[in-house]
Each structure stands twice: as C-alpha cells, then as structure tokens.
Amino acid sequence: MAERVVIFDTTLRDGEQSPGISLDPIEKLEIAEQLAKLNVDYIEAGFPVASQGDFDAVSEIAKQIEGPTIAALSRTHLADVDRCWEALKHAEKARIHVFISTSPSHLEHMLKMTPAQIIKETKAGVYRAKQYTEDVEFSPQDATRTPYDFMLEVLNAAVESGATTLNIPDTVGYGIPWDFGALIANIRKEIPGDYIISTHCHNDLGLATANSLAGVQNGARQVEVCVNGLGERAGNAALEEVVMALAIRSDLFPGLTTQIRTEELAKTSRLVSRLTGYPVQYNKAVVGRNAFAHESGIHQHGVLSDRSTYEIIDAKSVGQTGSQIVLGKHSGRHAFTDTLAKMGITLHGDAVNASFKRFKELADKKFEITEADIEAIVAQEMGVATHETYKLLDLTVSGGLGVMPTAKVVIDKDGDTLVGAAEGNGMIDAAGKAISKAIGVEAELVGFQVSSVTGGVDAIGDVVVQLESKGRKVSGRGISTDVVEASARAYLDAINRLMRISDRLSEVGIAETP
C-alpha cells in the first residue's frame, strides 16, 4: 500500500519572515485558501505571540479554512502556548508547534540556559500543548549543530511529554544530504514511541530540497516547505520541488505519495509571488517562466518531436502551459477577464477595475499584451485597489548629459492632491525623492531590481524595490513600458505597504518607534 508523505506548508510563517514581506490578514487568508485547493496537509498560519496581526491572521484562517490542519508556532513558554491555542481553537483540525533552541551557540548567545533547563522547558511546553490538542509537534531549533546525544535527550523528553511529530530543523542550512539523511535514520532508530519524524531545511548552501529528500529516503514522513522556496535568508525547501521530485523519481521513493493537486502548483506560485512582492526567478524549477522554455535549436527539435526528449515534467501536470495568450488595445473587459480565468487568476470588484484600467493604459503603448504581461499587471494591481492610501496621478522627469536630473510627482490621497519635486542621482532616484517629499515619509531605498517581462522594444519593465523606514523593510512592485514610471509606481507601492503596517499598529495601540 502507498505511504503518504505529509506536506507541511510554512509559507505564511517562515516564508513571511523573508525580508520585506509583510502580509495583511486578508492576504494571508487568500494564500491559505489557495493552499487548501493545493491540498496541503498542514498550513502553518503564523506565530500568534509575535504580534496582534499574526494572531488575527491565524485566528481567521483557523475559523475559515477547511481541509488542511491549521498549525501555529509557539515557544515553550506556557503563556506562548496558551496564546497559540487561543488563536487556533476554532480550527476544524489544529496543531500546536512547540520549539526551543538546542545548539551550543543558541544556548550561550541567545537563551543563556543550561542543557538541563532546556529539557525542563521542553517537557513543560509540550505537556501544556498536549492539554489543548492531541496533535503536537516539537522542534529542537538548530538541530544540525546540536550535539547528537543531547538532541536525543531533548527529543525523547518531547515524545514522553506527548509530542506526536518530531521535526528536525536544519535552521541555518548547515546540513549535507548524506549526513542529514543519516541523522534522520539514527533518530528514528534511537527514539522509541509513536511519532512522525519531519524535516525543516533551509537553503543557505542551496541544499534544502536535497536534504529534505534525503530525510524522506531515511524515514521522514513529513516535509516542511514554502511555496517558491521563500523563507529566512536563502529560504526554505521549495514545496513544488519536493513534491515533483517525489512524483517524478518514484523509482527512488517506492510506495511514497503526497496528496498535492500538482495542477495547482503554478497558480499557487503566482499568487504567492503577487502578494509577497517576491518575483519568481525565470529559471526556477517547476514554476519558473523558463521551466518549460527551449531556446537551443537541438532542444526545440527534440521537444517538437516528442516532449519527453528534454522535459521530465508534463507542463500541464503542474498547471503550466507553453501557449501564450495575446491581447491588444482593442480587447474588451470580457476578453480580459476570460483570459484571467483561463490563467487561473480570480479577481473581484475594485481589483478587476484597477487591473483592466492598467491593461488598457499599457495596451495603448504596447502592440501586444501577452500572458506574461497580464501576470505582471495583476501582480501590481491585485489586492492593492482597496488598500491604497496614495495613488500616482502624474510624473514628469527630466535629465541629460551634464544636467541634474529632476522629477515632479502629483499624488492623490483620499481626494487631496499632493505635489513633490526633487533632484536626484538619476531620474529614478529623483522620482523616489519627489514621492517622499510629497508624502512626507522618510524611507531609504535598500534594494532595486528591474526586469523585462517580455522581449521587444516595447517590453514592459517590472521593477521591485525594497524600502527601509524606522527599521522596517517592505517591498513594492511597479510595471510600465517606461522604467522610470515603473520605478515610481514600485516606490509608491512600498510606501503604501508601510502605511498599512503603521495603520495596523495604531489599531492595536502599538506606537511607532522614533
């Protein structure tokens, strides 16, 4: 009989910890709904004690999402566990995920605790969680740098206190596949009890997926993953990579299956990219734009003769397609929304209006609008129309050899017009400074990325910026056939995100730091 590998998705918890990502509870709920369609086993919805926003998001997901078990993270502190359950209590199925650091580095520099205290905390935290739910997971943080005998002692204490899943986190991406696989095998051999062993691998050495698969090969039956490989620093094991590796190389994983609806993978990837502002690299495995593209003449000839010559995955099986939909300036709203539906994108209300308006604006400047262009349009507009504080009405820039670049912007704020002008080190810099002056927000540009959505002289430029203000980093995205305009829109999008975060903090009575 087939044995299932449990897919534990932590996009909404570890994935959101990627620098610059800050999802609203509504955005988290939208991703959770898609993860339910993808049919993941677990959705780790957040870390309730971290903030009121995280608590609210976990609570709403617990109330509204059916199908997957809803999990939330908690330290071993009893108050943390209580808060975690308070957020989860309305879930159809709930799991409390308890963790504590165990490596010498973490004990010395972070926790200032002894090994004996770690054991005591582990027992207390897991036992408290067990009073709320039968489904309790335990993680010894930084497990791969923890002395083996001590880790076994901690894991044994967790199982004796009621843990039903033992998760082995490669927190800093230190593991190497054969070594990590052996660690999983030895834990399974040494720790008695009725539990599932799990992996949680980070990608600091580019080995997160490989380590996860090595864990499965050695007895792990749960894998913790993020859509698009999001996560702290270099990210986590990518859900789509792990799932498709198990499916395609079933010869190496005989009898092991997942319940993932793989045809939803590309749609899930696009949604997460749109809402987080993190673009998917073109050559990303499984869900990247080039994953099923062939430029070499030899490759093209082979694929035209038979797809399997150079493709080990059927594009349709992961929701990808090789065909491109082309629209133009004469296309109407019906054709636009029909195209979105065929692409697996669902928009409602103001989001439809905003996206269609931007489509028509760009269609006047660009001869053909492709499926990739439409994705970029929606990436900028989806979920923004109902949240924008500031809207770009006009942008004028000037510059040249030996001339100081200048920019002037006109911005709408709830019907009021704001105007700002500035000089800068280039027209893009000037535009950003003009926006800051108009709004009165001080923000430092710490990241800038520009890419061409499609080829040609009328290609749409897709700009992603990262701003830092008061110690908080956010991402913004903008598109246009004019890269300066795209940059200004991205800058303004990031400032709107900063405003939404500030508003949420004010709502819960948390003052902004000076």
Annotated binding-site residue numbers for Mn(2+): 14, 200, 202, 236
Helix (H, G, I), strand (E, B) or coil at 34: helix
| Look-up of token digits 């691998």 | 201
Contact 499, 390 (CB under 8 A): yes
How many C-beta atoms lie closer than 10 Å to residue 256's C-beta?
16
Residues 6+ apart with CB under 8 A from 271: 30, 31, 34
The partner residues of 121 in beta bridges, in order of sequence, read: none
Q: Is 253 exposed, middle or buried (0-12, 13-18, 19+ CB in 10 A)?
A: middle
Determine the length of the chain.
514
Contacts of 386 (CB under 8 A, 6+ apart): 349, 350, 351
β-strand 136-141 against 403-413: which pairing, if any?
A: unpaired
Going along 313-459, which residue ranges are E strands? 390-400, 403-413, 416-423, 444-452
SS3 128: helix
Binding residues: 14, 200, 202, 236
Task: Give SS3 for 32.
Answer: helix
Q: What share of the chain is helix, strand, coil (3-state, %, to 5)?
A: 45, 20, 35
How far apart are alpha carbons 381 and 367 in whole angstroms? 21
**Bridge partners, residue 44, by sequence:** 71
| CA neighbours closer than 13 Å in the CB half-sphere of residue 504 | 19
